[in-house]
Chain A
Amino acid sequence: MAGACVLIAVLALAALAPLLAPYDWNATSQCRRLAPMSESHWFGCDLFGRDILSRVMYGARFSLAMGISTVAISLIFGALFGITIAYRGGRADTVGARLIDAMLCFPPIILAILIVAVLGVGLWNAALAVGMSGIPRFARITRAATLSLVARDFVEAARSVGSSHTRIVLRHLLPNLAPILIVITTLDLGSAVLFTATLSFLGLGAQPPTPEWGAMLNAGREYVRYAPWTMVFPGLALFVTVMAVNLVGDRLSVVLDPRQRS
């Protein structure tokens, strides 16, 4: 419940940032450089005199958008691959499963960095890299779930009445896969937001002056000794958001997964 409330608040903040933010996120010289917290600048100012509160608010848009995009990429392509190889079975499934196992041998951050090396640094390249690094995990889970469904009588019955493969997948398999897909998507969203922020922190994702939380932490790193507020508030926003998403994901998995309910 608390997680859901916080998440709704963060989403509302992201949506209403243009109305709620006291200053333009990119307007420099709003105050003295690295100015501490004050009545007019609740979170202080950064190296360029930009209001940190406004940047944190707008940062919710970038960080959440990147997280949602990465999970969407992992879900769509991972689920598509997993369902396809499991439904086709035989050699396609054997080869596909081996490919998934091999891709899972890349530590996710290493795989994402490798993809960024190919695509180049940047906000959406990092999102694409993180999304692609999540495809093997989604594919493995979807494959396992599809294999158990394909063996069930209702699929055999659909085949026997002449349903096309597309119809069987869309009308019979996907609705039964939906609960597990929702659970893994929600569970993964928190780590996706964290992962994309990590790449931005390393300088491989969002580039200045984009107010993405990871990039803000990277920028504030050099001045943390003199101006700790440059890293406290973006980091706190990131932590609170990820924690809220994880709480919601946990709750959803208990509700939707019958094994966890018992």
Chain B
Amino acid sequence: MSRLLSRLLGAILTLFITWSVVFGAMRLAPGDPVLLMLQGTPISDAAMDAARTKLGLDQPFVVQYLTFLADAVRGDFGDSFRSRQPVVKLIGDEFPYTLQLAIGGFVVGVLLGGALGIAAGIWPNGWIDMVCMTFALAGLSLPSFWIGMILIQIFATELGWVPVLGSGLDALVLPSITLGLFIAGGLARLVRNSIIEVMAQDYIRTAYAKGLTAVRVITRHAMRNAVIPPLTLLGIQFALLIGGAVVTETVFARPGIGRLLVQAVLEKDFPVVQGVVVLTTAAYVLINLLIDIAYGIIDPRMQA
């Protein structure tokens, strides 16, 4: 319980620091927030002062900072400069699409990366290992926006096997593959190294000496221990997917918070930028906290 409490307090402190960084960054951004909000609409000085008071910009810096933190906890980031809609509503509308894409990419990455890593780990230093690791490195080196466009051209445009746009599961195939390839690369390497390390342990040698088959040794004894390091990476990767889906959403013209963020930066819509970054970091901290708790359950040694 004390470990859990200390992790929770650490997560809260981390959130406090990240949100403070976001607040500072937005205050450093060029341009008057009121003028940006008005987007060129002419307005009197008195009305500008009233707008500044409404946004709390006439308050001392410390008051603005504390108000920002309190609003962030409540999920209130004001209204978008461009659409005048509440930022939290815009994010709420887009987030399910990003989550769909993140889950799809995650599944593809785990299946492909796991398969490559297990094959390379069970038959290390041979041609299987070389082929699998070359694929893994290629996955890490491939520009996701390039492979996405190639997949669209071949499978959607030329062959017509899957649609490019749409809300169905078939429209999620190509974006998920695009996103999953990068995770697969890193995961394959980690799984391979983890399996090689576990297979060199004495208890594996004992299991073989007792006459157990290779399949039984790997599935019953090696895999549970080999899965621990990749589990940590997977959790971090899933959290990163939420932010990293930005490129895939752009290539496939899918709605999502990544695309929302990029458009907000280009349009200098700072409330949206602020809201997306705050919520993304909160999701990342929460997922890492859950991984930490799961880690302790899977590996009892970590509970000490």
Contacts and interface: CB of A to CB of B under 8 A. Distances in A.
A116 B266 CA distance: 10
Contacts of A117: 25-26, 29, 264-265, 268, 270, 273
A235 B143 contact: yes
A217 interface: yes
Given A101-B14, A247-B137, A107 B242 contact: yes
A194 B143 contact: yes
A102 B21 contact: yes
Question: What is the interface of chain A mostly: helix, strand, loop, or mixed?
Answer: helix
A86 B26 CA distance: 30
A225 B261 contact: no
A214 B250 CA distance: 13
Contacts of A142: none
A178 interface: no
Contact of A201 (B28, B145, B153): B145
Contact of A197 (B21, B143, B261): B143
Nearest to B262: A202
A51 B143 CA distance: 22
B22 A114 contact: yes
Contacts of B261: 110, 113
B246 A231 contact: no
B157 interface: yes
Given A107-B240, A109-B243, A118-B29, A102 B18 contact: yes
A117 B284 CA distance: 21
A242 B18 contact: no
A36 interface: no
Interface string A168-187: 00000000000000000000
Contacts of A113: 246, 261-262, 265, 273
Question: What is the interface of chain B mostly: helix, strand, loop, or mixed?
Answer: helix
B143 A198 contact: yes
B146 A202 contact: no
A109 B284 CA distance: 13
Interface string B58-76: 0000000000000000000
B67 to A, nearest CB: 20
Interface string B187-210: 000000000000000000000000
A102 B149 CA distance: 35
Interface string A37-65: 00000000000000000000000000000
B290 interface: no
B278 to A, nearest CB: 10
A105 B29 contact: no
B194 to A, nearest CB: 14
- Enumerate the 7 nearest inter-chain pairs by beta-carbon distance, A residue then B residue, closest first: A107-B243, A235-B146, A102-B17, A243-B141, A110-B243, A242-B141, A117-B265
Interface of B: 13-14, 17-18, 21-22, 25-26, 28-30, 137-138, 140-146, 149-150, 152-153, 157, 239-240, 242-244, 246-247, 250-251, 261-262, 264-266, 268, 270, 273, 276-277, 280-281, 284-285, 288
Given A204-B262, A224-B153, 15 more contacts: A103-B17, A105-B281, A105-B288, A106-B281, A107-B239, A108-B240, A113-B262, A113-B265, A114-B22, A117-B25, A117-B265, A117-B273, A118-B30, A191-B140, A201-B145
